[in-house]
Chains A and B, each alone.
Chain A
Amino acid sequence: MKELSNSVCIVGVDESDEIGIVPHKSQLTLQMEAIRNATRDAGLEIADIDGIFAPGGVDTANQHSPAVLAEALGIIPRYVDGTGLGGGSFMIMVGHAIVALYHGLCDVAVIAHGESGRSRVGIAPRCINKSLSGQFEFPYGFGHAPTYFGMITTRHMHEYGTTLEQWAQVAVSTRAWAGLNPKARFREPITIEDVISSRPICYPLNLLNCCLVTDAGGAVVLTRADRAKDCVKKPVFVKGAGEAAEHLMLTQMKKLPFSEATRVSGKKAFTMAGVMRSDIDHLMLYDNFTSAPPLMLESLGFAEPGEGVDFFAEGRSTPGGSLTINTNGGGLSYTHTGMYGIFAIIETVRQLRGECGERQVPNVNLSLVNGMAGMFSAAGTLILSDQT
Chain B
Amino acid sequence: MEGLNRPLPHPITPETQPYWDGLKKHKLMLPNCEACGPFFYPRILCPKCHSPNLTWIEASGRGRLFSFEIAYQAFNPEFKIEPPYILAMIELDEGPRIMSNLIHIKPDPMVVKCDMPVEVVFEKLTEDITIPLFQPAKRIGGRLV
Residues of A within 8 A of B (CB): 130-132, 134-144, 146-147, 150-152, 154-155, 158, 199-205, 249-252, 256
Min distance, Cβ B101 to any Cβ of chain A, angstroms:
5
Taking residues whose C-beta sits less than 8 angstroms from the other chain, chain B's interface range is 35 or more
> Given contacts A130-B10, A140-B101, is CB(A147)–CB(B69) below 8 Å?
yes
CA distance A143 to B74 in the complex (A): 10
CA distance A199 to B79 in the complex (A): 21
Q: How many A-B residue pairs have CB under 8 A?
A: 118
**When the two chains form the complex, which single residue of A135, A142, A146 contacts B16, counting CB atoms closer than 8 Å?**
A135
> Given contacts A141-B6, A158-B115, A201-B72, is CB(A251)–CB(B98) below 8 Å?
yes
Binary contact track B114-125/A, C-beta < 8 Å → 1, others 0? 110000000001
Min distance, Cβ B123 to any Cβ of chain A, angstroms:
9
Name which of B26-34, B81-89, B136-144 contacts chain A: B81-89
> Given contacts A130-B10, A147-B75, A203-B69, is CB(A139)–CB(B85) below 8 Å?
no
CB of B98 within 8 A of CB of A134, answer no
Q: Which A residue's beta carbon lies closest to that of B9?
A: A135
Measured between beta carbons, the chain A residues less than 8 angstroms from B8 are 139
Q: Which A residue's beta carbon lies closest to that of B4?
A: A139
> Given contacts A132-B41, A135-B11, is CB(A143)–CB(B69) below 8 Å?
no
Q: Which A residue's beta carbon lies closest to that of B129?
A: A139
Measured between beta carbons, the chain B residues less than 8 angstroms from A130 are 10-11
What would be 26 A-B contacts, judged by CB atoms less than 8 Å apart?
A134-B9, A135-B9, A135-B10, A135-B11, A136-B9, A136-B99, A138-B9, A139-B131, A141-B101, A142-B75, A142-B76, A142-B87, A144-B75, A146-B69, A150-B87, A154-B67, A154-B69, A155-B89, A155-B114, A158-B67, A158-B114, A202-B72, A203-B109, A205-B69, A250-B99, A251-B96
